Amino acid sequence: MKNIIGRKYEMEELLRCSTSDKSEFVILYGRRRIGKTFLVSNLFNGNFSFYFTGSHRAPKERQLERFAQTLKQYGQLKYLPALDNWYHAFDALQELIEHTNTKKKVIFFDEMPWIDTRGSEFVAALEDFWNTWAALRDDVCFIACGSATSWMVDKIVENQGGLHNRVTSRIYLRPFTLAECEEYARSQGGVWDRYTLTQAYMYMGGVPYYLSLMDYRRDLAWNIDSLFFQPHAKLKDEFRELFSVLFNDSQSYIEIVRLLASHREGLTRQELAKSLPNGGTLTGRLENLIRCDFVTACVPFGRKKKGTIYQLTDFFTLFYFKFIETARKTTSSYWNLKIHSPEVRSWQGLTFELVCRLHVDQIIHALGVSGVITEVSSWRSQAENQKGKKCQVDLIIEREDRYIYLCEIKFSESPYVIDKAYEEHLREALTLFREETKTRKTLLTTFITTFGVKANIHSGIVQNEVCLDQLFV
pLDDT of residue 200: 98
For residue 295, list its beta bridge partners.
312
- Residue 3: its pLDDT value, please? 87
What does the pLDDT average to over 277-296? 87
pLDDT at 278: 66
User: Is 2 or 208 the better-scoring residue by pLDDT?
Assistant: 208
pTM of the model: 0.94
pLDDT of residue 307: 79
pLDDT score of 391 = 84
pLDDT of residue 385: 64
Residue 387 has pLDDT above 80, yes or no: no
pLDDT value for 279: 60
Q: In a 10 Å sphere around its CB, with 0-12 CB exposed, 13-18 middle and 19+ buried, how is residue 237 labelled? A: exposed
pLDDT at position 388, please? 65
Q: Which amino acid is at 314?
A: D
Beta carbons of 397 and 364 less than 8 angstroms apart: yes
Percent of the chain scoring above 70 in pLDDT: 97
360-471 folds as: Trna Endonuclease; Chain: A, domain 1 (3.40.1350)
Distances (CA, A) of 194 to 175, 201, 445, 467: 18, 10, 25, 11
Q: Which residues contact 190 (CB under 8 A, 6 or more apart)?
A: 214, 216, 217
| Residue 231 pLDDT class (50, 70, 90 cuts) | confident
Q: Model confidence over 146-202: pLDDT tens digits?
A: 999 889 999 999 999 999 999 999 999 999 999 999 999 999 999 999 999 999 999
Q: How many CB atoms lie within 10 A of CB 262?
A: 12
Average pLDDT over residues 447-466: 98
Lowest mean pLDDT among 35-39, 124-128, 306-310, 382-386: 382-386
Per-residue burial over 186-216, b if 16 or more Cβ lie within 10 Å, else e, is eeeebebebebbbbbbbbbbbbbebbeebeb
Give me the phi and psi of 246, to 5 degrees please: -80, -35
* Amino acid identity, position 211: L
Is 386's pLDDT higher than 70?
Answer: no
pLDDT tens across 239-280, in order? 999 999 888 889 999 999 999 999 998 999 999 999 987 666
Q: What is the pLDDT of residues 423-442, one digit of tens each?
A: 999 999 999 999 999 999 99
Phi and psi based region of residue 179 (left: phi greater than 0; alpha: psi -120 to 50; beta: remaining): alpha
Q: Is the pLDDT assigned to residue 306 strictly greater than 90? A: no
What residue ranges do the domains of the chain occupy?
Answer: 8-172, 178-230+330-354, 239-321, 360-471
Contacts 24+ apart (CB under 8 A), 250-257: 252/278, 252/281, 252/285, 253/285, 253/288, 253/289, 256/282, 256/285, 256/286, 256/289, 256/295, 257/289, 257/294, 257/295, 257/312, 257/314, 257/317, 257/321
- Of the listed ranges 383-387, 405-409, 416-420, the least confidently predicted one is 383-387
What mean pLDDT do residues 414-429 have? Answer: 95
Give me the chain's average pLDDT, please: 94
Q: What would the CATH number be for the domain defined by 239-321?
A: 1.10.10.10
Residue 459 confidence (pLDDT) above 80: yes
Rounded Cα distance between 35 and 187, Å, is 16
pLDDT tens per residue, range 71-112:
999 999 999 999 999 999 999 999 999 999 999 999 999 999
Cα 143–chain centre separation: 21
Can you identify the CATH homologous superfamily of domain 8-172? P-loop containing nucleotide triphosphate hydrolases (3.40.50.300)
The CA distance from 199 to 223, in Å, is 12
